[in-house]
Chain A
Amino acid sequence: MSADIGRVRIRVPSSIKPGDTVRVRVLVIHPMEIVQRKDGQPVDKNYHFIDRVVVTYLDKEIGQFETTQSISENPFFSFSLKATQAGVLKVTFLDTHGAKYEGTTDIKFS
């Protein structure tokens, strides 16, 4: 399981026309650690979860999500994208332990 941490999958519709607004779905494998409690008090430690997601299209940042540990394990996100040009869509995940996970997909028209 832990070997898979940071595996990113991006899905876009198979046929896109220029100017279409499409739904993009992204999944990343990550534990999204939850806060532990001891005697009713939260334990202070460096919890391991994704706290930032950055969406880049055509080298321009088009969205940024601030996430907390109240997002499920192996988080899934979906969002819209206006497909103006063929190019690369990149989604970057940053976690609290300083790791960075990236996934890319090509937006192409058919």
Chain B
Amino acid sequence: MERSANHTHVTRRALLRTLGALGLGGLIARSAGAPRPALAAGNLASLGPEESVDATMKRLFGGRAIKDGASAMKLELPLIAENGAVVPMSVEVTAPQTPQSYVKAIYIVSDKNRRPLNAKFNLTPAMGQPYVGTNLRLGESTPVRAIAEMNDGTLLQAKRDVKVTIGGCGG
């Protein structure tokens, strides 16, 4: 959408399709261990689109059911974050990682960020315990969700509200 100024007669749909194809192409090239395209890897087209959280969830998980994982996982975040630029976060799923049953990926999504997906952590059984922690940037007070994807495709979600005093995304 951002680039539509450069293309006068591009429909929104066509543009989105192109962006999607670009993103997908990048992913495939990278996962195969090929050299990364050096030019413009950080341009707007390769960032996640600016969208609502519903659109993000749909893009990531399609229509798959997401179960409430509040009892199976622990999401730690401050209640009030003075500085949105550095918000410490950690997620732990209580069941250990075993080759039979493990957490394949943990997604961190901040509902009110312009690009809601903060990070995706791909895990393996060799990690022992499904646990990740990092520092997030939050633009404003927002619910933050952690979604754990099990190896059998089950999705579990935990959600916490964070009050942000000073936004961390610049302008």
**A contact set with B: CB distance below 8 Å:** 21-23, 25, 33-37, 41-42, 44-49, 51-52, 57, 60-73, 75-82, 84, 94-98
Q: Quick check: B119 and A80 within 8 Å, CB to CB?
A: no
Q: A44-B44, A63-B124 are in contact. Are A72 and B86 (CB under 8 A)?
A: yes
A70 touching B127, Cβ below 8 Å: no
Neighbouring A residues of B132 by C-beta, 8 Å = 65, 77-79
Q: With A37-B171, A68-B118, A70-B115 known to touch, is A80 a contact of B128 (CB < 8 Å)?
A: yes
Q: Are A66 and B122 in contact (CB under 8 A)?
A: yes
Cα distance, A22 to B126, chains bound together (Å): 12
B148 within 8 A of A: no
Q: Which residues of B contact A60 (CB under 8 A)?
A: 126
The reply to whether A42 and B2 form a contact with Cβ atoms under 8 Å apart is yes
Picked from B41, B130, B131, the residue with its CB within 8 Å of the CB of A23 is B131
* Given contacts A37-B171, A66-B119, A78 and B50 within 8 Å (CB-CB): no
Task: Indicate if the CB atoms of A98 and B36 lie closer than 8 Å.
Answer: yes
A82 to B98, CA, bound (A): 11
Number of A-B residue pairs at CB separation under 8 A = 147
Residue ranges of B at the interface with A (Cβ–Cβ < 8 Å): 2-3, 5, 30, 36, 38-48, 50, 85-87, 90, 96-97, 110, 113-115, 117-124, 126-138, 168-171
B residues near A69, Cβ cutoff 8 Å: 47, 137
What A residues does B96 contact at CB under 8 A?
A: 21
Nearest CB of chain B from residue A47's CB, rounded to whole Å? 4
Min CB distance A109 to B, Å, is 15
B48 to chain A, nearest CB (A): 6
Alpha-carbon gap, A41 to B1, bound state (A): 10
Q: Which residue of B lies closest to A78 (CB)?
A: B133
> Please, how many angstroms separate the alpha-carbon atoms of A63 and B122 in the complex?
6
User: Do B169 and A34 touch across chains, with their CB atoms under 8 A apart?
Assistant: yes
B137 / chain A contacts, CB cutoff of 8 Å: 34, 69-72
- Contact partners of A61 in chain B: CB under 8 A: 124
- Name the A residues within 8 Å of B42 (CB-CB): 33, 45-49, 51, 95-97
Which residues of A have CB within 8 Å of B120?
A: 65-66
CB <8 Å contact, B134 and A71: yes
Q: Which residues of A contact B113 (CB under 8 A)?
A: 70
User: Could you say which of B3, B50, B169 has the most chain A C-beta atoms within 10 Å of its C-beta?
Assistant: B169
